[in-house]
Amino acid sequence: MSSLNTNFSKNISIVRPEYFFILGLSGIAYGNYYYVFLFIIYFITVIGNTTVILIVAINQSLHSAKYFAMFNMALANIGETNALIPNMMKTFFSDSQYISYNSCLANMFFVYFFIAVQSVTLVVMAYDRFIAICLPLRYHALVNNNVMSVVLSVAWAFSASMVGLLVSLITQISFCESNVIQSYFCDHAPVLRLACNLSSIITFIRNLNAVLFFVAPFFIIVLSYIGIFFAVSKITTWEARLKALKTCVSHLLLVMSFFLSVMCISIIWSNNSLTSNAGIIITSLAYGISPMLNPIIYVLNTVEIKVLIRKVFNNRSANRRNASR
């Protein structure tokens, strides 16, 4: 470790380590079994979200604004999971916990980029539900495939630019004391703890990203549902009210899953009393569970997807019966 710390590349006043050391879980018996558990989460996440992507892409009946957003969310889920878990597997099962400076920044960018896309997509989904329930007669004018394509494209570009700015500012930081990251990937907060010249602009951009991708989306979604509940309260019959609210169940579950994870991670960042191992376990679960649950939520709460899956199984069963005759 000492030989690595002396191998620094210097650019005027900026001091950077050639490598970072990803600490991961330390001193825990059978810690490898936890990594295997995370890999199982990864496998379920990839299979589930890939299934959702294929269902939406193949079936023309699902080529609508609502399902474009669902397709986008599944893509972001796969992106986040692939940015996190395979690299972790490679790091800890190959006994090479060192990651180059540039690879660390790339890993940080892709993790936070896909998380930002998920957050913005949840806002887009809230907009879709708000218009569908509060302004149903104008739905096809305000929410159509062209509008959704433009909105989601802007969401990806905006997320990439803001997260890119956040990560690029890391290059203006000097690391003078340690290169050991107290996490299982190149997490932004643990990396900043290693800095010895943290500037106000970096703190401002970090807080701005937190507001843009976590605080603001949460309050926008809350406001949209206040409007939805107000509109539903004006419906005369309970059956019609429940029918309207049922269309929001999937989105509400996605919002709960995502923002509960964000809250858990925020608590870890602000609570120094937790041990490193406890923090790593909680954050890794928070990052991994939400993308795994999302496709399950889609399938269980989306009538069109359930109908298509039943058709596929019924067709296969019919083909098997015909083949056995």
Q: What is the pLDDT of residues 141-159, one digit of tens each?
A: 899 999 999 999 999 999 9
Q: How far apart are CA 225 and CA 132, in angstroms?
A: 12
Q: What percent of the chain has a predicted confidence (pLDDT) above 70?
A: 89
Statement: residue 275 has pLDDT above 70 = no
Residue 204 CA to chain centroid, in angstroms?
22
What stretches of 211-275 show up as alpha helix (H) in DSSP?
Answer: 216-233, 238-246, 249-270
* pLDDT for 323: 60
Statement: residue 237 has pLDDT above 80 = yes
Contact between 174 and 196 (Cβ < 8 Å)? yes
| Alpha-carbon radius of gyration of the chain | 23
- Write down how long the chain is: 325
Tell me the range of 95-99, 145-149, 176-180 where mean pLDDT is highest: 145-149
* pLDDT for 8: 44
Tens digit of each residue's pLDDT (9 = 90 or more) over 189-220: 888 888 888 778 998 999 999 999 999 999 99
Q: Pairing state of beta strands 14-17 and 19-22?
A: unpaired
Contact between 51 and 77 (Cβ < 8 Å)? no
Tell me which architecture the domain covering 2-324 has in CATH. Answer: Up-down Bundle (1.20)
* pLDDT for 314: 67
* pLDDT for 316: 62
Q: How confident is the model at residue 7 (pLDDT cuts 50, 70, 90)?
A: very low
* pLDDT for 249: 87
What stretches of the chain show up as alpha helix (H) in DSSP?
Answer: 2-5, 31-58, 65-93, 101-134, 139-142, 145-168, 188-192, 200-210, 216-233, 238-246, 249-270, 276-301, 303-324
pTM of this prediction? Answer: 0.87
Q: How far apart are CA 17 and CA 91, in angstroms?
A: 18
Residue 295 CA to chain centroid, in angstroms?
13
Higher-pLDDT residue of 177, 172: 172
Statement: residue 10 has pLDDT above 60 = no
Higher-pLDDT residue of 119, 274: 119
Q: How confident is the model at residue 75 (pLDDT cuts 50, 70, 90)?
A: very high
Q: Of 174, 198, 196, 168, which is closest to residue 12 (Cα–Cα)?
A: 174
